[in-house]
Amino acid sequence: MRHGKAPEMKDVCVVFIHGFMGNSALFAPFAEAVAARGAEVRLLTLPGHGGTLREFLRAGRREWQAHVDAELAALQAQQKTLLVVSHSMGGLLAVNAAAKRPDRIVGIFALAFPLYLRMTWVGIRIRAASACRERPGEDPRIVAARELRGVSGVTLWNAPALIPNSLGLLRLMGRTRKNLPRLVPPLAVANSIGDELVSFSRSLALVRRSLPGAQVLQLHESSHFWFCQNEEKALEKHLLHMLQSAQS
């Protein structure tokens, strides 16, 4: 930020980073809210996402991290004040990038921050059902998981091909756990007790232990991909508060 002077709103850029096999549709209400306040919005699409399974398998954790590093560095070079909003793996990439180059990043808001994963029958059911055709009256968690998939052509039969990149995700988690204590920009984390993929207790325990000053929001009704209406509004309110703080 400039010496003692609040940045112009045109200099504030909110960068959204989606997660593993995800897309930016999850951020639509949040992007609309910050754009209405006059901030610039940047929705990143990670390498291998937004296309086919074959394209996804050609990329990996190194390409994902390098892409986020380069995008943030380019915005920093433009003297933008950056507020980063992420979902799932996007939070890992954001923290790792900010740990290396924190200048001009005024905050990271990590949704479903996955420092540790967990396997649940609910998670398996949601993932399996989301790979099938939509059914009337379907669980909204399944609908969200299907709509937010950023890789096409994934079926129950070719899912084993995802193993190498899934292992890459685990390596990213390990790297982030090491980098977390070195993070300088303020971190806010919003995880759900009902998240079927992320370990709520272990992930938040490590955040509190590594960064005692981090803000922690506990969601009680939402899942990994789906946010209930009242909690989505609470997340939007918190994001707008972070945006306002970025101007001061």
pLDDT in tens, 2-20: 333 444 455 899 999 999 9
How sure is the predictor about 128, in pLDDT bands with cuts at 50, 70 and 90? confident
Share of the chain above pLDDT 70, in %: 96
Q: How many Cβ atoms from other residues are within 10 Å of residue 196's Cβ?
A: 20
Instruction: Tell me what pLDDT residue 237 has.
Output: 97
1-5, 153-157, 166-170, 174-178: least confidently modelled range: 1-5
The average pLDDT across 165-187 equals 97
The average pLDDT across 200-207 equals 97
The average pLDDT across 153-159 equals 85
Comparing 195 with 9, the larger pLDDT belongs to 195
Rounded to the nearest integer, the mean pLDDT of the chain is 93
Q: CA 14, CA 111: separation in Å to the nearest integer?
A: 15
Q: 1 pLDDT exceeds 60?
A: no
Share of the chain above pLDDT 90, in %: 84
Q: What is the pLDDT of residues 40-72, one digit of tens each?
A: 999 999 999 999 999 999 999 999 999 999 999
Q: What is the pLDDT of residues 83-106, one digit of tens each?
A: 999 999 999 999 999 999 999 999
What is the model's pTM?
0.93
